[in-house]
């Protein structure tokens, strides 16, 4: 008998990040696509991990996270955003930010609910919503700066709206929210029961002297929000898959119900190492914006002699480039041609949209060593305008 299986995610295939990384490996291309550093985490953190393993920190930790790490997250949240947080009732360590996002959605969104998603959106949001038999309501960001059109958000709110997802610095565009955006969001939600999920994994990578406007800074929003971050992005250790969620006690309690049956607990030695790093090396995350701004500026200078048009990069570690002077084809076609014929992998923007507009944009990651950035730029310099 042939097994019949109805997919719960019929429109979902392999993520574009895996597709482009596999294509890059096949063609020996410089991989500026998937967003991971090709340099190592800080030596102090690697040493702390080795000590944690040697000291026997290798069995199940508390499901909600090692106490020392939750305490350091609470200290950091207070220092960065002025938000006093109880590490026992408001901080949960998760197996990456993706797990925290899924757990937050699964814990609070039910069948028939609607979740407002700003379009383009990181690709894990909508599948998590659809798995709850809920509906993602996509609200397009403004072109060309990818700012939020709050009037359109207001028009999308309905009696069925359960959650609104924001992401700043934004992936894939690098756009950032400012304090006025947070005030406008709070105004829209003031007399509603709508929950906010704020994806802030690039919180420490905001450029040109600007401060990251975390939802945690805003009293009214913090009271109804899951605020999610990632140690992988902050400490160049994406393979460790350690994230966390800060939320008020009622939301945290519901998230933990899902978390305990989703991953139960998170890699223990890394939690101890991160707790030590936060306590002994707080300057690391405070200096991260300058570190990546230098890479951004270096990469933009290397691309200056190419036909690519460079979009502004307010935050995150991705450079959007407009390739329209080179070829008038869709971004999927161009990205595959670029790997095969030029030897550089980027990520097309169309997979992040519900329906991609007629734009010619590619995302390139500059969280790479100088040698990688130079190698990629040298190949891109061979591009010729039409």
- pLDDT tens profile 92-147: 999 999 999 999 999 999 999 999 999 999 999 999 999 999 999 999 999 999 99
Last residue of a domain, one of 284, 319, 338: 284
CB environment 285-323: b (16+ within 10 A), e (fewer): beebbeebbebbeebbebbeebbbeebebbbbbbbbbbb
Work out how many domains the chain is built from and give that number: 2
- What one-character DSSP code corresponds to residue 215? G
Look at residues 93, 222, 211, 127 and name the one whose alpha carbon lies nearest to residue 166. 222
User: Given this model, what pLDDT does residue 356 score?
Assistant: 85
Picking from 172, 175, 115, the residue whose alpha carbon sits closest to that of residue 142 is: 175
Residue 156 within a domain: yes
Name the band, by pLDDT with cuts 50, 70 and 90, for residue 11.
confident
Q: 310-364, pLDDT tens digit by residue?
A: 999 999 999 999 999 999 999 999 999 999 999 999 999 999 999 988 899 999 9
Is the Cβ–Cβ distance between 310 and 321 less than 8 Å?
yes
Q: How far is CA 345 from CA 163, 216, 374, in A?
A: 35, 36, 14
User: Tell me, what's the pLDDT at 15?
Assistant: 87
What is residue 1's predicted lDDT score, i.e. its pLDDT? 62
Token pair, residue 86, equals 């109880």
pLDDT digit string, tens, across residues 308-320 = 999 999 999 999 9
CA distances from 137 to 152, 246, 247 (A): 11, 25, 23
34 band by pLDDT with thresholds 50, 70 and 90: confident
End position of a domain, from candidates 284, 302, 326: 284
Residue 8: inside a domain? no
Same domain, 28 and 70: no
Last residue of a domain, one of 267, 284, 301: 284
Task: Give CA–CA dist 346/308, Å, rounded.
Answer: 13
Q: What share of the chain is helix, strand, coil (3-state, %, to 5)?
A: 40, 15, 45
pLDDT of residue 257 exceeding 80, the answer is yes
Residue 343, domain CATH = 3.90.1150.10
Q: Compute the average pLDDT of residues 227-244.
A: 97
Q: Are 246 and 352 in a shared domain?
A: no
Q: Is residue 11 part of a domain?
A: no
Q: What is the mean pLDDT of residues 4-30?
A: 89
Domain that holds residue 137: 43-284
Q: What is the pLDDT of residues 173-218, one digit of tens each?
A: 999 999 999 999 999 999 999 999 999 999 999 999 999 999 999 9
Which of 216, 135, 209, 118 is closest to 171 using CA atoms? 118
The verdict on 275 and 312 lying in the same domain is no
Candidate from 22-31, 70-79, 257-266 with smallest mean pLDDT: 22-31
Does this model's pTM top 0.85?
A: yes
């Amino acid at each position: 008998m042939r097994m019949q299986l109805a997919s719960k995610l019929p429109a979902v295939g392999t993520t574009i990040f895996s597709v482009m990384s596999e294509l890059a490996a096949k063609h020996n291309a410089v991989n500026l696509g998937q967003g991971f550093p090709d340099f190592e985490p800080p030596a102090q953190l690697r040493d702390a991990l080795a000590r944690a393993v040697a000291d026997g920190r290798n069995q199940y930790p508390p499901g909600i996270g090692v106490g020392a790490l939750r305490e350091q997250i609470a200290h950091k949240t207070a220092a960065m955003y002025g938000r006093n947080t109880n590490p026992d009732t408001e901080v949960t360590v998760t197996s990456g930010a993706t797990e925290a996002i899924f757990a937050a959605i699964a814990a609070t969104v039910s069948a028939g609910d609607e979740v407002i998603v700003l379009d383009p959106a990181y690709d894990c949001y909508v599948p998590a919503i659809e798995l709850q038999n809920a509906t993602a309501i996509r609200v397009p960001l403004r072109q060309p700066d990818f700012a939020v059109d709050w009037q359109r958000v207001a028009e999308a709110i309905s009696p069925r709206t359960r959650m609104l997802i924001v992401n700043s610095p934004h992936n894939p565009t690098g756009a950032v929210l400012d304090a006025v955006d947070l005030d406008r969001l709070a105004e829209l939600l003031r007399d509603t029961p709508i929950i906010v999920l704020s994806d802030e994994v690039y919180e420490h990578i905001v450029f040109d002297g600007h401060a990251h406007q975390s939802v945690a800074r805003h009293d009214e929003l913090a009271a109804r929000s899951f605020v999610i971050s990632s140690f992988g992005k902050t400490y160049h250790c994406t393979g460790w898959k350690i994230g966390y969620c800060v939320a008020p006690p009622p939301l945290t309690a519901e998230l933990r119900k899902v978390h305990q049956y989703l991953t139960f607990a998170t890699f223990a030695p890394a939690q101890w190492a991160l707790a030590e790093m936060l306590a002994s090396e707080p300057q690391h995350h405070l200096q991260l914006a300058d570190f990546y701004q230098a890479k951004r500026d270096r990469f933009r200078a290397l691309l200056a002699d190419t036909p690519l048009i460079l979009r502004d990069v307010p935050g995150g570690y991705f450079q959007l480039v407009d390739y329209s002077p080179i070829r008038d084809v869709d971004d999927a076609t161009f990205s595959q041609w670029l790997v095969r014929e030029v030897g550089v992998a980027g990520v097309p923007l169309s997979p992040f949209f519900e329906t991609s507009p007629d734009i010619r944009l590619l995302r390139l990651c500059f969280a790479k060593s100088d040698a990688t950035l130079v190698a990629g730029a040298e190949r891109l310099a061979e591009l010729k305008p039409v």
